[in-house]
Structure 1
Amino acid sequence: MREFIRHPTDIPIEYQIASVKAGHHERLNNISQGGLCFQTEKALRRGSLVRITIPVREPAFETTGTIVWCRRADDHYDVGVQFADANTEFSVRMVEQICQIHLYQKQILEQEGRQLSTAEAAAEWVGKYAKDFPT
């Protein structure tokens, strides 16, 4: 049984393998307190140290982790990262909520045609869903 609930996202993510200078921009699949999963075009080596940046707000969420699995999925690879620092829990909870607010903002635009600012989307989302947000 999974220790942490995974929250699906479609948020931009940046990663940099510790031994490589260049960074990469991909899409975050999901995130939990223990780690995250993102997509990439090429396979990444299990056990590699990776620096993760999720630029959903200022300052961007940054952490390090270890690639614990990499699986081929159609035209890309899904990569699982376990966070290196157990103290990232509070920051991860904030990122999870920000991701949910970002998705809410996109859904409202698509479904209702309303363009909400980040602050407006956050206020609506908190009022509707924060009490039900999984822990």
Structure 2
Amino acid sequence: MRQYLRHPSDVPINYRLGEVVVHRNDYLRNIGKGGLCFTSRIAMPCGTRIHIEIPIAEPVFNADGVVVWCQPHQDVFEVGVRFEGIETEYGVRMVEQVCQIEHYRQTILRTEGRDLTSEEAALEWIQKYAAYFPA
């Protein structure tokens, strides 16, 4: 089984780099218990301290980490971040599910024209897909 789950590229991610008060908005690519990958419009040196926020549910997922790789990809950069601290593992699992549910909600709106609340989308997603979600 893969260590990271691929997520739709429409899941927003906010981050702040090191001591510099820079707040950027980009998009999540994948997330796993040890870290995540996201796309960025700027390159980041390895070793840069980073604070991550994924604001798609309450409470907002927050984690501190370190940039461990950064590679150009088309017109952006893919950035790999290793989380610091084991307390983020439960939060990561919740974010994985919330990302899938939010993408489901947006897909249903686009394809069927139904504007589901987050709770309605969660109930439908759980009935249809929870059994296939890795434990």
TM-score (norm 2): 0.93
Residue number in structure 2 paired with 1:28: 28
Partner residue, 1:126: 126
Query: Where in structure 2 are there 5+ consecutive unaligned residues?
Result: none
Task: Report the equivalent of 1:7.
Answer: 6
Aligned residues: 134
Give the aligned partner of residue 111 of structure 1. 111
Alignment of 1:62-81 (within 5 A): 62-81=62-81
Measure, in 2, the Cα distance between the counterparts of 1:26 and 1:7. Answer: 16
Pair 1:5–1:38, CA change in 2 (3 A): closer
Runs of 4+ more than 6 Å apart: none
Between 1:115-124 and 1:27-36, the stretch displaced more is 27-36
- Preserved CA contact (<8 Å) 1:7 1:96: no
CA RMSD of aligned residues (A): 1.4
Offset from partner CA, 1:33-90 (integer Å, 9 cap, x none): 1111111111001011100000011221000111010000111100000111122111
* C-alpha distance in structure 2 between counterparts of 1:19 and 1:44, whole Å: 14
Report if the CA contact (8 A) 2:4-2:30 is conserved: no
Cα distance in 1 for residues equivalent to 2:51 and 2:41: 17
- Residues in 1 aligned to 2:95 and 2:55: alpha-carbon distance in whole angstroms: 10
